[in-house]
Amino acid sequence: MDVFAGTVYGFSVAVQPANLLACFVGVFVGTLVGVLPGLGPVATMSLLLPVTFAMSPTASIIMMAGIYYGAMYGGSTTSILVNIPGEAASVVTCLDGYQMARQGRAGPALGIAAFGSFIAGTLGVLGIMLLAPPLAAAALRFGPPEIFTLLVLGFTMITYLGSGSRLKTVAMALAGMFLGTVGLDPVTGTPRFTFGTATLSDGVGLVPMIMGLFGIAEVLLNVEAGLKQEVFQTRIRNLLPTRQDWKDSAAPIARGSVLGFVLGILPGVGAIIPTFVSYALEKRLSRRPETFGRGAIEGVAGPESANNAATGSAMIPLLTLGIAPNVVMAVLLGAFLIHGVQPGPLMLREHPDLFWGVVASMYVGNAMLLVLNLPLIGLWVQILRVPYGLLFPLILLICVVGVWGVSANVWDVVIMVAFGVVGYLMRKAGFEPAPLVLAFVLGRLAEESIRQSLLLSRGSPAILVARPIAGAFLAASVAVIVLPVVLPRLGALVTALRPGGGAGGSR
Amino acid sequence: MRELGSAVVLLAAALAGLVEAWRLPLGSAVAPGPGFFPLALAAGLAATAALLVVRAVARPPARPAGPGAAGGRARLVAVVAALLVYTAVFSRLGFVLATFLLMVVLFRAVESLRWPVALAAAAAAAVLGHLLFKTWLGVRLPSGPWGF
């Protein structure tokens, strides 16, 4: 099936009433959890996993994906109006979005965030359609050595995932991989670190871990701090950006989309890093960098586009390789597996309805989100006014029921609470949970693939270099580590050698 | 203090992992057994944690962000305790009653809503939760001896 036929087929799947409803529920819930601080897409998708038992695989994945990209839209609303990121990928939007709101320009800020998200979201979907089929074809030739070296590349990327100390990020990644070894050994079936319990023989559950580290820990932090949400008390008007706003934002949206798409496809990056890179890039390119942090619309348009483009491209490694490049995709992978579908190179051929249906539904969902986030913005502002004291017990209840729903095992709830406390302490000490969870997911796969590789090569690690694709991935990993160290020095060297150089402003 | 404390705890956890991993069959670098990767990971973690300890001792950070209000810490402990008790009695009392009690505690003790508001909101949360999760979404929530 070529791209055109696939697209037409995909839309015929996506507009079936059940799938259309799933898409709407997904983007609606996504916007809701994006707006609410302390409940992000990861926890919500884990929560709704058991719900999808009763749905068709296509409708389930459509709904799950909708929650993810819907949350990207909703997160910006809270950032702009309350100066609290509703969702981790909209941290950067607070910088200029809130300043715009304070200057009475909340409307254009919300408007450009929604339009930028829409443009980037649809471009991202287009990118999936064009890139996924050839990548899936290439991925058919992937064996354990290719998978392992790709994961190595992912692990090197993870070390850039944290916004704080690099050493702490590495520590969290190692801890996550170690936790991933709990349970039965993937090759020999030997129990490891189970202490004779049945709960741990399946390994530490991903859902309790995520709900604890992201859901419970966030609530604990907010409860301790006594979170006060002060919604900006102005009428929101002029949602449609002016011609000048468009002129200022067009290039940032375009750059943000490309940047988000390219970065988002890489394992270990996720939707957060592209927003930081986009903000830095726009500030660097701007003729008026001093306006950044004081309500520059470019500082909203670029990052908001970047995070939406990244949500689209992050689907590519999952759909073509079966590898989850970020934590959200790990949950989505879980949703596929629940329905007995193994995402990967064969999926395009074996489940074309699922692949093309989900991708087409993302077009539909982005259009729905534009309506939900512009004409209906008032609804979400009302939700922001619900006091946290009423909200947080409900968030906790949802977390408990979500974990219970997956396994009906009380110990999993206890594990969740334990991870909640650990996550709270981690945040207090400046450790971030995302590298831990991602390494947890990828670590299991990495151990399995390296051990299979060594069985294949009868113990010779040369197999990792001798196969061209695997060798290229390894070389790329080395480049990721070496280049950032070398490049600034090289730049400094060039500047120093240039006559009259020094504090150069020349490009 | 916070830097040092967290690094020491991490180091202790890594060492415990190292000891546990040591008991598993190790295999060799070219034919790794079940214990090989856990051991290597625990060793890597221990090394990283040791570096963090050294860094915390060598460069104590400037005074970290101000301490949370004393009331904040108490609220925190109350929430965790309430969740653990809830987990313990959840299966015996059934979802609706246990949830009602948990919600009352959280609404009252943590955010001190007024009694009538707290009771009404807790009852609503328990009943709506039952309808939403059990009746509509089909989650297998436990029933108490009274059938709900």
Q: How do residues A222-238 score in pLDDT, each as one tens digit?
A: 888 776 666 666 667 77
Burial (CB < 10 A; 0-12, 13-18, 19+), residue B18, is: middle
Structural domain harbouring B125: 70-136
Q: Which of A177, A192, A224 lies at the smallest CB-CB distance from B72? A: A224
Whether the pLDDT of residue A160 is over 90: the answer is no
Q: Which of A219, A414, A459 lies at the smallest CB-CB distance from B30? A: A459
For the segment A246-251, the average pLDDT, to the nearest whole number, is: 91
What integer pLDDT is reported at residue A175 of this predicted model? Answer: 93
Residue B148 lies in a domain: no
Find tokens 């009428």 and name the residue: A235
Q: Which of A1-10, A85-94, A457-466 shows the lowest per-residue confidence on average (mean pLDDT)? A: A85-94
Same domain membership, residue B92 and residue B47: no
Q: Which of A171, A177, A225 lies at the smallest CB-CB distance from B52? A: A171
User: Which tens digit of pLDDT belongs to each residue from A130-144?
Assistant: 999 888 888 888 888
- Tell me what ipTM this predicted complex has: 0.90
Residue B141 lies in a domain: no
Residue B146 lies in a domain: no
Give the Cα-Cα-Cα angle A47, A162, A319 (nearest 5 degrees): 50
Q: Which of A297-306, A316-325, A417-426 shows the lowest per-residue confidence on average (mean pLDDT)? A: A316-325
**Which of A163-167, A198-202, A407-411, B69-73 has the largest mean confidence?**
A407-411
Across the interface, whether the CB atoms of A190 and B139 are under 8 A apart is answered no
Of A445, A22, A421, A503, nearest in space to A213 by CA? A421
Q: How far apart are CA B44 and CA B106, in angstroms?
A: 41
What is the number of domains present in chain A? 1
Whether the pLDDT of residue A500 is over 70: the answer is no
Of A14, A128, A177, A44, nearest in space to B14 by CA? A177
Find tokens 């991708």 and name the residue: A359
Structural domain harbouring A406: 3-494
Same domain membership, residue B99 and residue B77: yes
Residue A506 lies in a domain: no
Same domain membership, residue B74 and residue B123: yes
Residue A507 lies in a domain: no
Across the interface, whether the CB atoms of B13 and A53 are under 8 A apart is answered no
Q: Encoding tokens for residue A323?
A: 């590898």
Residue A502 lies in a domain: no
Strand partners, B27: B32
Residues 38-77 of B with CB under 8 A from A: 38, 41-42, 44-45, 48-49, 51-52, 55, 68-69, 71-73, 75-76
What is chain B's mean pLDDT, rounded? 84
Same domain membership, residue B131 and residue B74: yes
pLDDT band at A444 (very low <50, low <70, confident <90, very high): confident
Q: Are A295 and A105 in contact (CB under 8 A)?
A: yes
Residue B19 lies in a domain: yes
Size of interface A-B (CB pairs under 8 A): 154
What integer pLDDT is reported at residue A491 of this predicted model? Answer: 73
The count of residues in chain A is 507
Same domain membership, residue B111 and residue B83: yes
Burial (CB < 10 A; 0-12, 13-18, 19+), residue A469, is: middle
Whether the pLDDT of residue A477 is over 60: the answer is yes
Strand partners, A183: A192
Same domain membership, residue B77 and residue B45: no
What integer pLDDT is reported at residue A502 of this predicted model? Answer: 43
Whether the pLDDT of residue B144 is over 80: the answer is no
Task: Give CA A218 to chain center in angstroms.
Answer: 17
Across the interface, whether the CB atoms of A170 and B72 are under 8 A apart is answered no
Of A354, A402, A368, nearest in space to A60 by CA? A354
Residue A365 lies in a domain: yes
Residue A461 or B52, more confident: B52
Question: Helices A298-313 & A57-82, crossing angle to 10 degrees?
Answer: 160
Task: Give CA A131 to chain center in angstroms.
Answer: 19
Helix, strand or coil, per DSSP, at residue A328: helix
pLDDT band at A13 (very low <50, low <70, confident <90, very high): very high
Residue B98 lies in a domain: yes
Residue A420 lies in a domain: yes
Last residue of a domain, one of B58, B78, B97: B58
Whether the pLDDT of residue A285 is over 60: the answer is yes
Same domain membership, residue B11 and residue B43: yes
Instruction: Tell me the torsion sign for CA atoms A243, A245, A251, A253.
Output: negative
Q: Are A472 and A463 in contact (CB under 8 A)?
A: no
What integer pLDDT is reported at residue A505 of this predicted model? Answer: 40
**Distances, alpha carbon A359 to alpha carbons A125, A253, B44, in Å:** 7, 22, 40
Residues 218-257 of A with CB under 8 A from B: 219-220, 223-226
Residue A62 lies in a domain: yes
What is the number of domains present in chain B? 2
Across the interface, whether the CB atoms of B71 and A413 are under 8 A apart is answered no
pTM above 0.95, yes or no: no
Residue B107 lies in a domain: yes
Q: Encoding tokens for residue B114?
A: 């007024």
